[in-house]
Amino acid sequence: MLEQTVQIVSNERDTDSYFRLVVRTPRIAPLIQPGQFAHIRVLPLKDALLRRPFSIFQVSGDTFSILYKTVGQGTEVIARMQAGEELSVIAPLGHGFTVPKRGGETPLLVAGGYGMAAMYLLAQRSPQKGIVFVGGRRRVDILCEKEFQALGWDVRVTTEDGSHGKKGLVTQPLIAELKRSTKGRKLFACGPTGMLKAVGKIADDFKVPAELSMDEHMCCGVGVCLTCVIPVKTADGPRRAEAHEREGGWEYQRTCTEGPVFEAKEIVWEVTK
Amino acid sequence: MLEQTVQIVSNERDTDSYFRLVVRTPRIAPLIQPGQFAHIRVLPLKDALLRRPFSIFQVSGDTFSILYKTVGQGTEVIARMQAGEELSVIAPLGHGFTVPKRGGETPLLVAGGYGMAAMYLLAQRSPQKGIVFVGGRRRVDILCEKEFQALGWDVRVTTEDGSHGKKGLVTQPLIAELKRSTKGRKLFACGPTGMLKAVGKIADDFKVPAELSMDEHMCCGVGVCLTCVIPVKTADGPRRAEAHEREGGWEYQRTCTEGPVFEAKEIVWEVTK
Amino acid sequence: MNLSVQIGKLTLQNPVMVASGTFGYGVEYAQLLDLNQLGAVVVKGIRLHPVRGNPTPRTAEVTSGMLNAIGLQGPGVDGFIKKYWPFLKKLKVPAIINIWGKTVDEYAEVARRFDALGGVGALELNVSCPNIKEGGAQFGTDVKRLKQVVAACRKITELPLITKLSPNVVSIAPYALAAEEAGSDALAVTNSYPAMAIDIETRKPKLANGTGGLTGPCIKPIAIKLVWEAAKVVKIPIIGMGGIQNAADAIEFMMAGATAVAVGTANFYEPQTTLQVIAGLREFMQQHGLKDVREITGSVQTAK
Amino acid sequence: MNLSVQIGKLTLQNPVMVASGTFGYGVEYAQLLDLNQLGAVVVKGIRLHPVRGNPTPRTAEVTSGMLNAIGLQGPGVDGFIKKYWPFLKKLKVPAIINIWGKTVDEYAEVARRFDALGGVGALELNVSCPNIKEGGAQFGTDVKRLKQVVAACRKITELPLITKLSPNVVSIAPYALAAEEAGSDALAVTNSYPAMAIDIETRKPKLANGTGGLTGPCIKPIAIKLVWEAAKVVKIPIIGMGGIQNAADAIEFMMAGATAVAVGTANFYEPQTTLQVIAGLREFMQQHGLKDVREITGSVQTAK
Ligand SMILES: Cc1cc2nc3c(=O)[nH]c(=O)nc-3n(C[C@H](O)[C@H](O)[C@H](O)COP(=O)(O)OP(=O)(O)OC[C@H]3O[C@@H](n4cnc5c(N)ncnc54)[C@H](O)[C@@H]3O)c2cc1C
Ligand SMILES: Cc1cc2nc3c(=O)[nH]c(=O)nc-3n(C[C@H](O)[C@H](O)[C@H](O)COP(=O)(O)OP(=O)(O)OC[C@H]3O[C@@H](n4cnc5c(N)ncnc54)[C@H](O)[C@@H]3O)c2cc1C
Ligand SMILES: Cc1cc2nc3c(=O)[nH]c(=O)nc-3n(C[C@H](O)[C@H](O)[C@H](O)COP(=O)(O)O)c2cc1C
Ligand SMILES: Cc1cc2nc3c(=O)[nH]c(=O)nc-3n(C[C@H](O)[C@H](O)[C@H](O)COP(=O)(O)O)c2cc1C
Ligand code: FES
Ligand code: FES
């Protein structure tokens, strides 16, 4: 974890409202693991002070890149920034994915929207190839199909409107694939919370392990503010908490520190919003 | 008085920390009178919301310009803006100078620092030429000597450090000139409050009329907030105010509306800070 | 699409007014915008006699807001009627007069004078100016005295009465209730918040008065909460204000419980704000299929 | 050049600390800055038992600030001692423990535990969390109960006691005095301000808790005034906080009357803020020929 003011190398539109931003960070780039994120302060923002978290998409030499979607003031301001302008970055942050081992479990990656960013770095770093399921509402939400293919992965595309790949939800081909076989397979997912929840349920139904990268609002990004918590199962040990604090056998853990990647079976979905 | 978002035509350093900014305002430019000001919203400012007042320096066709000194966040941000960028302007505002009539009183202009801006427009619009006393701390504070000369005015320069013109305060050659003669002469001044106060006293001592452009902090610039008031003598008429409100026979008037130009003899200097 | 709302017996063509002290007496802005588009024009606070106000500097810029300690400078009732009323009474939209006094009797006397004048839209009782000892905080932070002021004015006039509450209280609920019980037709929530800024180079407060009132976008979250709390306990309409810059801000106040809103500090830096808020409100209603602006009021979904 | 200040019997090498709840338990930021450069490390509020805290969303961004309603999640005294104390006790700078309870007895018990622990720099009594019913507002806005809490802790321990006051009062003076009289060695002024934000698209409050505490640069002018008012009535040192982003802000608090300052929200967006404040403070002292940082405290020149 380092803090640096970094220069933008390039910042280009990918499709529609998705952009790719490359920054130069010689000291940070080598430290990055798949599933980790960068906490970015958008310096030109006017009266919005907080940093914004983005998964790290690619690492190349002394640069890393993010793949972002414009959704609000921060991302919209980033989208207007140009090469040479500066951002403040704290990275790498968080507990990332367990990188599949050669000859180990076959990774099935499930990615929705900007979730493809984190999945790409995982695929790239994984010596064990597998299948990647990418889904989105429309064709423009499918972001790095060619890049996954170039890595030699089997890419299954779905769009809700059928404008690209199969029509439907990303979980449909995933279920089909798991019906074929679950043996030695492990799920990795990043995307909208609804999708993660569905993948969590599928993992449970098919009894396959799954690692999910959770998307919670963040403030500090480093574990001090307790903004980004999600309910995680806890062993009901000899804790001295008052009874109502122990109900349900879970505690809040930090997405920015214990996560963003959690094992699906640890998450207490009933308690999440 | 109009509000317009205007484009910067040019924005260049004059000397040291003084800059000249030209904006295109076809509807506003023709309305401007000497001594009036523009109330400018520096749109790129981050969390500073208020407009900043600047005297109008020159009017040319459908543009006007200001001559400004970088003193704080607003002026510093303006100084970094470039042609084509936008500012929001409310102008022309305020009650300006009485433009000398041909064959009327001889105008003696007294200007310090950015006060030269307002004085220049007055000199330019005045059919009756006269003398302009310009003063500053150093050579770089003398801003439009050549331009005053080009108008055919007699320019008397003083600097406190003697780096240009006579060494001393701008009021010294003024006093010398008034000692020579006061007849048919009228003072017009714009500059730091200390200088205005001195000019007010000189006018009183020599019994010559004087119009002073007062520099008060402003907020709305149009007369609604009552930020910019200075104490002005009032006839002690049958006002129903409580006694302490009438003491001294003065009331607060608005620099942005009744001013910025006031007759020196109306100002109650004892009450000003 | 209905934008009109009721403040007591007063009908406003739309819920967007200006905040007292930020719009002079209306006439000053007449060149920059069409006042007849507003819900109402609210004038600077007036007491019986002319008031000189505080020494300068009277305002200071702070992060996303400003401080003021004007000290309620004003022409007094007579001066106002002579100088500003002829313009205001010709407007098609109601003029709301913000009044104050140093005693309960003075409030009542000012109310009587404006009642007698005829044509006034409503009276707003300013019991919350942070820059005045008597007449400000002493009424606004004392439930009993607040009640006395409202009741005294209520006895004098049938004009709609708006009580403008102070944010500087532990809980706004008892004050809101007190004003309602004493006969106020509406509440204005909220006035500026007591605050201070120091120039570290001169070591002097940035305001000659030492302290002043904080206003602008920086106080919006505080004001939203006060409106929400007041709306939970009273039935009378609330005029929400504090940092409104755009339609989204206005809608936020309305969802929290405001029937109408007032734009204050934003007038200073963007005189078109009120008109932009009205346009944005219409657009929001269109986008969300709302036929009546009153559907927005209090529509926040809270657990408690 | 002397930068050291006293908080009761505790000596700080410089007056710049962090604000409770914005710096975790210190260890989290250890990779980003050298904690031993700080005046003190103040930890997140701890009660006797572990606390789960509020549902999410727990924070929201607002103009020049943020809202939070964390609900004082924490590991409890035992969890803290086990998990975080081994790191903190090795620091060269004092660790100040922010404590709270639901009853006076619980405050006292937590104080007893930390007294017994040994090596604690000071205890900060949080009687002002806006997001907790019992333990927060109920002590912070009631002079009598405030006094009870402070007195109970005072009886238990000789550790320096800092009482952290609520800004949500009509006047802070009686609370400041009450804390001083009950034996507090210092005051922390101020906690976050009750506030709210609503998402107008979902019509839900931006915080799951409905309301939360406003912090960041937006509240600085309010906090400056509270420090100034408290400093007028007490002799004990004040730790000023609320929106400090840079040395100028810190100096403003000190001129208003603070002996030390704490950086809160700014840590989240700029973790180096404390170090920048310390460097800027030195620079200011140099520029102004000050030999002792204590010359700054209370040096504002006000008429009254
Ligand atoms: C671990 C993690 C990884 C992420 N990776 C990516 C990525 O690779 N690409 C991408 O486009 N987006 C990613 N996001 C989401 C991204 O952080 C938000 O889209 C972004 O913060 C929105 O900022 P804004 O200023 O444009 O929106 P605004 O709505 O103006 O933001 C307001 C506030 O809400 C917060 N916020 C809003 N949406 C989110 C969100 N979904 N998650 C967290 N905070 C939010 C912002 O940080 C800010 O504090 C990730 C989020 C997390 C938690
Ligand atoms: C009628 C009038 C005419 C002026 N003409 C000129 C001119 O021609 N050229 C020029 O350089 N300056 C002029 N000034 C001064 C100019 O307005 C200030 O220098 C400017 O507002 C400083 O803004 P800032 O953001 O750089 O400084 P900051 O110190 O960051 O400003 C903070 C706040 O204080 C206000 N403020 C600070 N100094 C002044 C000041 N001297 N007068 C009024 N408000 C102030 C700002 O408007 C702002 O609200 C004039 C002022 C007045 C009242
Ligand atoms: C310069 C100034 C003067 C004000 N004068 C008055 C006043 O005379 N009477 C009053 O009730 N409120 C007065 N107020 C308070 C405003 O009406 C309003 O309640 C407050 O500014 C909050 O709204 P805002 O944040 O939109 O400005 C004044 C506010 C400002 C900034
Ligand atoms: C996320 C968050 C959590 C906080 N938790 C605590 C706490 O546990 N105990 C406490 O006394 N204050 C707590 N505070 C208040 C801060 O210590 C501080 O008083 C306040 O944030 C004002 O300072 P700032 O504007 O610099 O943030 C918290 C503030 C924030 C933003
Ligand atoms: S974002 Fe602060 S703890 Fe995770
Ligand atoms: S600046 Fe508002 S009245 Fe002059």
Closest CA to B200 of B192, B211, B191, B185: B211
**Residues near A197 by Cβ (< 8 Å), separated by ≥ 6?**
A269, A272
Q: Which residues contact B250 (CB under 8 A, 6 or more apart)?
A: B231, B232, B233, B234, B268, B271
Q: Are strands D161-164 and D122-126 parallel, antiparallel or unpaired?
A: parallel
Cα separation, B262 vs B258, in Å, equals 8
Which residue of chain A is at minimal alpha-carbon distance from D216?
Answer: A49
Over the stretch A45-80, which tens digit does the pLDDT of each residue have?
989 999 999 999 999 999 999 999 999 999 999 999
Which chains contact C through at least 3 pairs of Cβ atoms less than 8 Å apart? A, B, D
Measured between CB atoms, does A245 come within 8 Å of chain D?
yes
Does D59 sit within 8 Å of A225, measured CB to CB? yes
**Set C129, C162, C176, C255: catalytic member:** C129
> B interface mutation test: which of A43, A47, A77 has the most B CBs within 10 A?
A47
For B176, residues 6+ apart whose C-beta sits below 8 A from its C-beta are none
Mean pLDDT calculated for residue range A182-186: 93
Q: By the 8 A CB rule, do D278 and D33 touch?
A: no
Amino acid at D291: K
Q: Which residues pair with B110 in a beta bridge?
A: B133, B189
Residues D86-99 have pLDDT tens digits of: 999 999 999 999 99
pLDDT for A16 beyond 90: no
3-state secondary structure of D173: helix
C-alpha D220/C-alpha D226 separation (Å) is 10
**Domain around C172:** 5-295
A49 touches chain B (CB under 8 A): no
A239 at interface of D, judged by CB pairs closer than 8 A: yes
* Whether A240 contacts chain B with CB within 8 A: no
The predicted structure's pLDDT at residue B234 = 82
Name the pLDDT band for D61 (thresholds 50, 70, 90): very high
Encode pLDDT of C15-71 as tens digits: 999 999 999 999 999 999 999 999 999 999 999 999 999 999 999 999 999 999 999
Residue A273 clears pLDDT 80, i.e. is over it: no
Q: For residue A240, what pLDDT band results from cuts at 50, 70 and 90?
A: very low
CA distance C206 to B75: 19
Number of structural domains in chain C: 1
Angle between helices D143-156 and D173-181 (to 10 degrees): 30
Is residue D285 in contact with ligand 4, taking CB distance under 6 Å?
no
What is the pLDDT, as a whole number, of residue A238?
Answer: 41
Picking from B149, B68, B49, the residue whose alpha carbon sits closest to that of residue B116 is B68
- Give me the residues of chain B with pLDDT under 50, please: 237-240
For tokens 């799951």, what's the residue?
A: D208
Instruction: Find, among A14, D155, D178, D174, the residue nearest to D163 by Cα.
Output: D178
> C214-244: per-residue pLDDT in tens?
999 999 999 999 999 999 999 999 999 999 9
Contacts of B3 in chain C (CB under 8 A): 32, 271-272
Search chain B and give the residue with CA nearest A47: B47
Does domain B2-93 fall into CATH 3.40.50.970? no
Q: Answer yes or no: is D304 within a domain.
A: no
Q: Within 13 A of C66's CA, how many CA atoms are on the CB side? A: 25
Query: Would you say residue D284 lies in a domain?
Result: yes
* pLDDT for D260 beyond 70: yes
Residues of C in contact with A47 (CB under 8 A): 63-64, 217
Of ligand 6's atoms, which has the minimum distance to the CA of residue B53? 1
CATH of the domain at D179: 3.20.20.70
- Kindly state the tokens that stand for D110: 């937590």
Residues A169, C88: Cα–Cα separation, whole Å: 62
Residue A192, pLDDT score: 94
Backbone angles phi, psi at A214, to 5 degrees: -85, 145
Residue nearest to atom 45 of ligand 1 (CA): A217
Burial of B82 (0-12, 13-18, 19+ CB in 10 A): exposed
- Spatial distance between the Cα atoms of D266 and D29, rounded to a whole number of angstroms: 13
Residue D128, pLDDT score: 76
B173 secondary structure, DSSP code: H
CA of residue A256 to ligand 1 center, whole Å:
13
A155, β-bridge pairs: A132
pLDDT at A242 over 90: no
When computed from its CA atoms, the radius of gyration of chain B, rounded to whole angstroms, is 19
Residue D188: strand, helix, or coil: strand
Instruction: Check D217 against A240: CB less than 8 A apart.
Output: no
Task: Point out the ligand nearest to the CA of residue C16.
Answer: 3
Q: Which of D109, D179, D105, D108 is nearest to D140 (CA)?
A: D179
Supply the pLDDT for residue D91: 97
CATH 3.40.50.80 range(s) for chain A read 97-215
What's the pLDDT at D12? 98
Query: How confident is residue C134, by pLDDT bands cut at 50, 70 and 90?
Result: low
Facing residues of B118 across strands? none
Number of the ligand 2 atom closest to the C-alpha atom of B51: 47
Q: Is the dihedral of CA C137, C142, C148, C150 positive or negative?
A: positive
Is residue C61 domain-resident? yes
Q: Which two tokens stand for residue B249?
A: 């026979």
Is D129 among the catalytic positions?
yes
The best mutation among B50, B219, B225 to test binding of ligand 3, ranked by most ligand atoms within 8 Å of the C-beta, falls on B225
Q: What is the pLDDT of residue C128?
A: 76
Residue D131 has pLDDT above 70, yes or no: no
In the prediction, which pLDDT does A237 show? 44
CB burial of residue C87 (10 Å; 0-12, 13-18, 19+): middle
Distance CA B56, CA B58 (A): 6
Three-state DSSP class for residue B59: strand
Instruction: Name the DSSP letter for residue A234.
Output: -
Q: Is residue C300 part of a domain?
A: no
For CATH 2.40.30.10, the residue range(s) in chain B are 2-93
CA distance B109 to chain C (A): 27
With residue A7 as reference, give the H or E element that holds it.
strand A2-13
Q: Specify the pLDDT at position B242.
A: 57
DSSP A189: E
Distance from the alpha carbon of residue A99 to the mean position of ligand 1, in angstroms: 25
What is the distance in A from the centroid of ligand 5 to the CA of A75?
20
Which of C18, C23, C28, C129 should one mutate to test binding to chain B, selecting the residue with the greatest count of B CBs within 10 A? C28
Is the CB of A34 within 6 Å of ligand 5? no
| pTM for the full predicted model | 0.96
Share of chain C above pLDDT 70, in %: 97
Interface of D with C (CB under 8 A): 62-65, 67, 141, 168-170, 193-198, 200, 203-205, 208, 210-211, 214, 217-222, 224-225, 228, 243, 248, 251-252, 255-256, 284, 299-304
Q: How far is B61 from chain C (nearest CA, A)?
A: 23
Nearest one of B62, B51, B56 to B7, comparing CA atoms: B62
CA atoms within a 13 Å half-sphere pointing along the CA-CB vector of B257 = 18
**A259 CB less than 6 Å from ligand 5?**
no
- Neighbouring chains to B with at least 3 Cβ pairs closer than 8 Å: A, C, D
SS3 (DSSP) at A100: coil
The CATH architecture assigned to B97-215 reads 3-Layer(aba) Sandwich (3.40)
DSSP B215: -
Decide: C126 in ligand 3 pocket, CB within 6 A. Answer: yes
Say what the pLDDT of residue B246 is: 64
DSSP code, position D130 = T
Pocket lining: A219 vs ligand 5, CB cutoff 6 Å: yes
Within-domain flag for D56? yes
Q: Are strands B166-167 and B86-93 parallel, antiparallel or unpaired?
A: unpaired
Question: Of A219, A242, A252, which has the smallest distance from its Cβ to D66's Cβ?
Answer: A219
For the CA of B18, the closest atom of ligand 2 is 11
pLDDT in tens, C97-125: 999 999 999 999 999 999 999 999 999 99
User: What band does C195 get if pLDDT is binned at 50, 70 and 90?
Assistant: very high
Sequence-separated (6 or more) residues with CB below 8 Å from residue A88? A3, A4, A5, A6, A40, A41, A43, A51, D270
**Which residue, chain included where needed, has tokens 């000596």?**
D11
Distance CA D180, CA D8 (A): 12
**Nearest CA to CA, how far is A42 from chain D (Å)?**
10
Report whether pLDDT(D216) > 80.
Answer: yes
D208 falls within a domain? yes
Domain-embedded: residue D47: yes
Look at residue D195 in the predicted model and tell me its pLDDT: 97
Give residue for tokens 């040395």. D247
C219 contacts in chain D (CB < 8 Å): 218
Q: Name C28's Cβ contacts closer than 8 Å, sequence gap at least 6.
A: B222, B223, B224, B257
